Amino acid sequence: MAKPKKISKSMQKAILAMLKKQPGVPVNRKEMSHALGIHKNNYHLFMNSLLDLVRQGQLIHVKKFHYAFPEKRKKLVGELRTTRSGYGFVDIEGQDLEAFIAQPNLNTAFDRDIVEVQLYAASKGKRLEGFVKRVVKRFRENIVGTFHKTKFYSYVTPDDPKVYRDILVAEDATDQAGNGQKVLVRFDRWEGDRHNPEGTIVEVLGDADDPGIDIVSIAYAYNLPVSFPKKIDQAAEAIREDISKEDLAGRMDLRSLTCFTIDPVDARDYDDAVSLESLPNGHQRLGVHIADVSHYVPEGTAIDKEAFKRGTSIYLADRVIPMLPEHLSNQLCSLKPGEDRLAFSCFMDFDEQDKVVDYTITPSVIHSKRRYNYEEVQEIIDGKRKDDLKPHLTAMHQLSKRLTAKRFEKGGIDFETPEVRFEFDQKGFPVKIIPRQRLDSHRLIEEFMLAANQTVAKHIKNISPKKTSTLPFIYRVHEKPDEEKMTRLFDFLRAMQVPFRTPKRVTSRFIQQLLQSIKGTKEEIVIEEVALRSMMRAVYSEENIGHFGLGFDDYTHFTSPIRRYPDLTVHRLLKHYQKTANRIPGKMQSTLKKIAEQSSRMERLAMEAERESVKLKKVEYIQQYIGETYEGVVSGVTSFGLFVELEKTFIEGRISLANLTDDFYIYDEKTYSLIGRDTDGVIRLGDAVKVRVDSVDLEKRQVDFTFLENHSDDTNRNPWKTRNQSPSRKSKRKRRKKRP
């Protein structure tokens, strides 16, 4: 009979005391032993004691090497994110945990629903696994799809592939929709995953090929509002347009000042104007004048609540979904030329070293002298167009160039991600893709807005009663990069043969110098995209932790209250603190936290929807050119094939490994390359290639290419030869057996 294994009661008490502090949270046994100070000579005793607690049911084995205290376990709740393949992940709220959910375990949950998760007692592999117990909150109120009517029943097939079940519609809930029409269906109930969900059609959108239906579908897929409720539009229309004497009370009168707006050629709202004056002491006074939306949208009104809900304006491929009703955004608050407008002005005095030595932030009234677009301003500063305000624009251009150089010197990062705009025909079909050029005129406005945003954030610190405790405020923050992401970036750069020295500490200046070193190379776009993905996401916060990407200690968003709710909040706070900085509402900090979280969340959704709409229109555009050949750049290399991004249009398509028929290619993860086994040919990230458009799948937003030629082909770059080795004979034999 085997002897019972020795255990330690005192050690078990210590283990239980430790895990009770975080009920339900898995802890690695090695971390546990370190925390308890277990000597290696007693590690076997520790393991025996731990496993005995599991046998008694006092602890649970959650996953490999991880254990948790099971009693009084908190509900594990988080947002479900599913993939097109069907499985999903849940980020557990308030804990640094992520649970894998297999497709059969999704229960009745869809992508982005808030769900309660039950973890399995012992998950397979290294990751936590579980199943959805229930849906806490639905992400989608309505779903866009195609209506189908059969002899026995009717149903809607959702456009979004992540809504993976058809929705049954009762005979009296079809709203007289026709077979094949696009509809908006309200999600009513789903009693169990063995049955289909049920819903009611709330709107018939039209036929599938009607202009704009595809973009509307994307907006609804992200639960974004497509139009304003009637009562909100009516409330906006009721706002008085004239400016009274009471409106002007306490405002700086700047109607005689030479100021003007510079916006995109197709802009419909103008929320910022600029001015520049030379002072007698040799300094320059830059004025940034922002539409005073807070005057027209008091806190707590119906319009304000709707703006908070939206968080931001959304710029889809063929339309703008504004944060504010059109009467406000395009009329009352828009800084139109030749009309008096209420504004909030930030004046900054720059000395000879382009340092802000004085500033004024005040409500104002302005009268814009001119409305420019970016292309006009560029022609004026290039000397290709005559204009009465050229001296102002020339001086602004010179100041902006100095500010840009100064910011880069201090470590501001300059990401130039490629963007495009579309020209559409009457049916909403994209007939032309036009790359957006980043002109000096763009940089001019960007630098002036950055200066104003930074000055406003510093102002709050300056007027705070105590330096150690600043007034409640909302900031635009950007955390320092994650160490693991930086390690992956450095590995990638080495694989791309980019010369650099690994820094002891990653700074924004290091990143900027790195990006500057690859300017003009064929790998520039690929490297910039990877570097950008390695950064943390900029968000809004009531806590000021600085902005890593810009290299600023203090930064906020003040310059776009027409299209961003945090900017509107900043205007309100500035007015409040101008009246009294001592009387601060007790709930202000918690209110700002809610605003920051909601605005960050809606900004993220808007960005994803914008990208999806652009991707859709790119795929629509390229489908008319099946069989055509194009030049492109290898933008991704994986074990299953390549991704290629076409020049100018930036349309990305894939090439499966099976379609690379000129050789048998082996994926080399360390160098992000595919290596030809027989020819020693190498295809790597950044290579210039020629491809042919093979097929297009609109539903999956997917383009397939056929590989024709690698212009960068150079056998001297073969990474196997560089390391003086080749794939092992054993791996070659295995590959040959699998070769068709």
Q: Mean pLDDT over residues 351-374, rounded?
A: 97
Average pLDDT, integer, range 503-515: 90
pLDDT band at 3 (very low <50, low <70, confident <90, very high): low
Q: Report the pLDDT value the prediction gives residue 556, as an integer from 0 to 100.
A: 98
User: Do the domain assignments include residue 618?
Assistant: no
Asked if the structure places residue 612 within a domain, the reply is no
**Positive or negative: CA dihedral 591, 594, 598, 600:** positive
pLDDT band at 74 (very low <50, low <70, confident <90, very high): low
Average pLDDT of the residues in 379-383: 96
Give the range among 85-99, 210-224, 289-303, 606-620 with minimum mean pLDDT.
Answer: 85-99
**259 within a domain of the structure (yes/no):** yes
Please tell me whether residues 431 and 330 are part of one structural domain: yes
Alpha carbon distances (Å) from 405 to 442, 447, 454, 551 = 15, 10, 17, 13
Q: What's the CATH code of the domain at 107?
A: 2.40.50.140
The last residue of a domain, from among 456, 489, 504: 456
Rounded Cα distance, 665 and 667, in Å: 7
Q: Percentage helix, strand, coil, to 5, in the chain?
A: 35, 25, 40
Nearest of 463, 469, 454 to residue 556 by alpha carbon: 454
pLDDT at 4: 66
Q: How does pLDDT run across 660-717, given as a tens digit for each residue? A: 988 899 998 878 889 998 888 899 888 999 999 999 998 888 999 999 999 875 544 4
Vertex 68, ends 67 and 69: CA angle to 5°? Answer: 140
Of 522 and 137, more confident: 137
Please check whether residue 544 lies inside any domain of the structure. no
DSSP string, 649-717: T--EEEEEGGG-TTS-EEEEGGGTEEEETTT--EEETT-EEEEEEEEEETTTTEEEEEEEEETT--GGG
Shared-domain flag, residues 352 and 422: yes
Quick one: pLDDT at residue 247? Answer: 94
**297 has a pLDDT exceeding 90:** yes
Identify the CA nearest to 664 among candidates 680, 653, 684.
Answer: 680
Judge if 187 and 267 occupy the same domain.
no
Give CA–CA dist 360/346, Å, rounded.
Answer: 6
Q: What whole-number percentage of the chain has pLDDT above 90?
A: 61
119, 18: one domain: no
121 and 43: one domain?
no
Asked if residue 127 and residue 172 are part of one domain, the reply reads no
The arithmetic mean of pLDDT across residues 400-417, rounded, is 90
Q: Are residues 200 and 349 in the same domain?
A: no
Average pLDDT over residues 533-544: 93
Shared-domain flag, residues 192 and 295? no
10 Å Cβ neighbour count for 204? Answer: 16
Confirm if 565 and 516 have CB atoms less than 8 A apart. no
Whole-angstrom Cα distance, residue 618 to residue 614?
6
> What CATH number is associated with residue 34?
1.10.10
Find the mean pLDDT for residues 602-613: 95
Q: What is the pLDDT of residue 528?
A: 87
Q: Which of 456, 482, 513 is the last residue of a domain?
A: 456
- 166 and 290 belong to one structural domain: no
Mean pLDDT of the chain: 89
Residues 49 and 119 in one domain: no
**Is 50 exceeded by the pLDDT of residue 718?**
no
How far from chain centre, in Å, is Cα 605?
Answer: 7
Query: Tens digit of pLDDT for each residue in 4-57?
Result: 678 888 899 999 988 888 777 778 888 899 889 888 888 889 999 998 898 888
Q: Are residues 278 and 391 in the same domain?
A: yes
Q: Is the pLDDT of residue 492 over 90?
A: no
Beta strands of 151-238 (E only): which ranges?
Answer: 154-158, 167-169, 182-189, 198-206
pLDDT in the model for residue 738: 38
With beta carbons less than 8 A apart as the criterion, state whether 356 and 349 touch: yes
Judge whether 528 lies within some domain.
no
Does residue 691 lie in a domain region? yes
Last-in-domain residue among 93, 116, 137: 137
Q: Judge whether 609 lies within some domain.
A: no
Q: How many domains does the chain have?
A: 5
Question: What is the mean pLDDT of the segment spanning 460-467?
Answer: 82
Mean pLDDT of 110-117: 93
Q: Which two tokens stand for residue 524?
A: 């520039």
Q: Which domain holds residue 681?
A: 626-738
Mean pLDDT, residues 426-455: 95
**Per-residue pLDDT band at 740 (split at 50, 70, 90):** very low
Let me know whether 108 and 156 are in one domain.
Answer: no
| Region 394-400 average pLDDT | 98
* DSSP secondary structure code for residue 473 in this structure: -
In a domain, 573, yes or no: no
- In order of 433, 615, 654, the CA distances from 620 in angstroms are 11, 9, 16
Does the pLDDT of residue 72 top 60, yes or no?
no
The conformation of residue 333, written as its DSSP 8-state character, comes to S
Q: Is the pLDDT of residue 100 over 50?
A: yes
Q: What is the structure's pLDDT at 681?
A: 86
